[in-house]
Amino acid sequence: MKKIVWSLILMTCTSVAWATGEETFQQACSICHAQGDKGSPKIGDVRAWSKLIKEGQANITADGYAGVRAMPARGNQPQLSVAEFGSAVVYMANQAGANWKEPDEAMLKKINARIAQRERSKK
Protein backbone atom coordinates (compact mmCIF):
# COMPACT_ATOMS: atom_id res chain seq x y z
CA MET A 1 0.00 0.00 0.00
CA LYS A 2 2.76 2.41 1.00
CA LYS A 3 4.46 1.72 -2.30
CA ILE A 4 1.35 2.59 -4.24
CA VAL A 5 0.89 5.86 -2.36
CA TRP A 6 4.48 6.85 -2.99
CA SER A 7 4.36 6.10 -6.66
CA LEU A 8 1.15 8.12 -6.93
CA ILE A 9 2.84 11.07 -5.24
CA LEU A 10 5.85 10.72 -7.50
CA MET A 11 3.70 10.54 -10.61
CA THR A 12 1.80 13.67 -9.57
CA CYS A 13 5.01 15.61 -8.94
CA THR A 14 6.47 14.63 -12.28
CA SER A 15 3.39 15.59 -14.23
CA VAL A 16 3.09 18.91 -12.39
CA ALA A 17 6.68 19.76 -13.23
CA TRP A 18 6.03 19.02 -16.90
CA ALA A 19 2.87 21.10 -16.93
CA THR A 20 4.80 24.01 -15.48
CA GLY A 21 7.26 24.22 -18.36
CA GLU A 22 4.45 23.99 -20.84
CA GLU A 23 2.32 26.48 -18.92
CA THR A 24 5.15 28.97 -18.68
CA PHE A 25 5.70 28.55 -22.38
CA GLN A 26 2.01 29.19 -23.10
CA GLN A 27 1.85 32.21 -20.83
CA ALA A 28 5.18 33.86 -21.43
CA CYS A 29 6.99 32.53 -24.48
CA SER A 30 4.37 31.54 -27.04
CA ILE A 31 3.71 35.20 -27.94
CA CYS A 32 6.95 35.07 -29.94
CA HIS A 33 8.10 31.46 -30.04
CA ALA A 34 4.80 29.92 -31.22
CA GLN A 35 5.15 31.57 -34.63
CA GLY A 36 8.84 32.47 -34.68
CA ASP A 37 8.09 36.19 -34.33
CA LYS A 38 10.99 38.64 -34.47
CA GLY A 39 13.32 35.91 -35.67
CA SER A 40 12.86 33.75 -32.59
CA PRO A 41 13.42 30.00 -32.88
CA LYS A 42 9.92 28.64 -33.46
CA ILE A 43 8.71 25.82 -31.22
CA GLY A 44 9.01 22.46 -32.98
CA ASP A 45 11.33 23.87 -35.67
CA VAL A 46 14.01 21.22 -35.58
CA ARG A 47 16.40 23.20 -37.77
CA ALA A 48 16.23 26.35 -35.71
CA TRP A 49 16.54 24.47 -32.44
CA SER A 50 19.23 21.92 -33.32
CA LYS A 51 21.89 24.62 -33.28
CA LEU A 52 20.72 25.82 -29.87
CA ILE A 53 20.43 22.29 -28.52
CA LYS A 54 24.09 21.77 -29.48
CA GLU A 55 25.05 24.90 -27.54
CA GLY A 56 23.73 23.15 -24.48
CA GLN A 57 21.04 23.56 -21.86
CA ALA A 58 23.01 25.73 -19.42
CA ASN A 59 24.23 28.10 -22.13
CA ILE A 60 21.00 28.86 -23.92
CA THR A 61 18.92 28.96 -20.74
CA ALA A 62 21.28 31.54 -19.27
CA ASP A 63 21.43 33.50 -22.52
CA GLY A 64 17.65 33.67 -22.76
CA TYR A 65 17.27 34.54 -19.09
CA ALA A 66 19.80 37.35 -19.25
CA GLY A 67 18.60 38.43 -22.70
CA VAL A 68 20.46 37.91 -25.96
CA ARG A 69 20.14 39.96 -29.16
CA ALA A 70 16.38 40.19 -29.96
CA MET A 71 15.42 37.88 -27.06
CA PRO A 72 14.28 40.12 -24.16
CA ALA A 73 15.59 39.16 -20.71
CA ARG A 74 13.27 36.55 -19.14
CA GLY A 75 10.95 36.93 -22.12
CA ASN A 76 9.73 40.20 -20.54
CA GLN A 77 8.48 38.33 -17.46
CA PRO A 78 10.70 39.62 -14.63
CA GLN A 79 8.84 37.47 -12.07
CA LEU A 80 10.07 34.20 -13.60
CA SER A 81 12.64 32.28 -11.58
CA VAL A 82 15.58 30.61 -13.28
CA ALA A 83 13.92 27.23 -12.62
CA GLU A 84 10.62 28.30 -14.20
CA PHE A 85 12.32 29.88 -17.18
CA GLY A 86 14.53 26.78 -17.49
CA SER A 87 11.49 24.49 -17.55
CA ALA A 88 10.02 26.43 -20.45
CA VAL A 89 13.33 26.11 -22.31
CA VAL A 90 13.30 22.34 -21.69
CA TYR A 91 9.75 22.18 -23.00
CA MET A 92 10.68 24.01 -26.21
CA ALA A 93 13.94 22.12 -26.79
CA ASN A 94 12.22 18.76 -26.28
CA GLN A 95 9.58 19.70 -28.85
CA ALA A 96 12.46 19.86 -31.32
CA GLY A 97 13.95 16.50 -30.46
CA ALA A 98 16.11 17.19 -27.40
CA ASN A 99 15.85 14.95 -24.38
CA TRP A 100 16.55 17.50 -21.68
CA LYS A 101 15.50 17.07 -18.06
CA GLU A 102 13.96 19.61 -15.74
CA PRO A 103 16.93 21.64 -14.43
CA ASP A 104 18.16 19.98 -11.22
CA GLU A 105 20.38 21.50 -8.53
CA ALA A 106 23.60 20.98 -10.51
CA MET A 107 22.13 22.36 -13.71
CA LEU A 108 20.70 25.42 -11.94
CA LYS A 109 24.13 26.11 -10.50
CA LYS A 110 25.67 26.07 -13.97
CA ILE A 111 22.94 28.29 -15.36
CA ASN A 112 23.27 30.79 -12.51
CA ALA A 113 27.03 30.97 -12.91
CA ARG A 114 26.63 31.71 -16.58
CA ILE A 115 23.94 34.34 -15.94
CA ALA A 116 26.28 36.09 -13.47
CA GLN A 117 29.02 36.01 -16.10
CA ARG A 118 26.71 37.55 -18.70
CA GLU A 119 25.46 40.24 -16.32
CA ARG A 120 29.05 41.19 -15.53
CA SER A 121 30.05 41.47 -19.17
CA LYS A 122 27.05 43.71 -19.89
CA LYS A 123 28.36 46.40 -17.55
Bridge partners (DSSP) of residue 68 are 71
Closer to ligand HEC at the Cβ: 4 or 76?
76
Span of 3-11, 34-42, 96-104, 109-117 interacting with ligand HEC by CB under 6 A: 34-42
Residues in the chain: 123
Among the listed residues 33, 83, 103, 114, the single contact to ligand HEC using CB under 6 A: 33
Residue 40 found at the interface with ligand HEC (CB under 6 A): yes
Closer residue to ligand HEC in complex, CB, 12/81? 81
**SS3 for 71?**
strand
Binding of ligand HEC by 58 (CB under 6 A): no
Euclidean distance between CA atoms 48 and 5, whole angstroms: 42
Q: What's the CA gap between 81 and 77, in Å, rounded?
A: 9
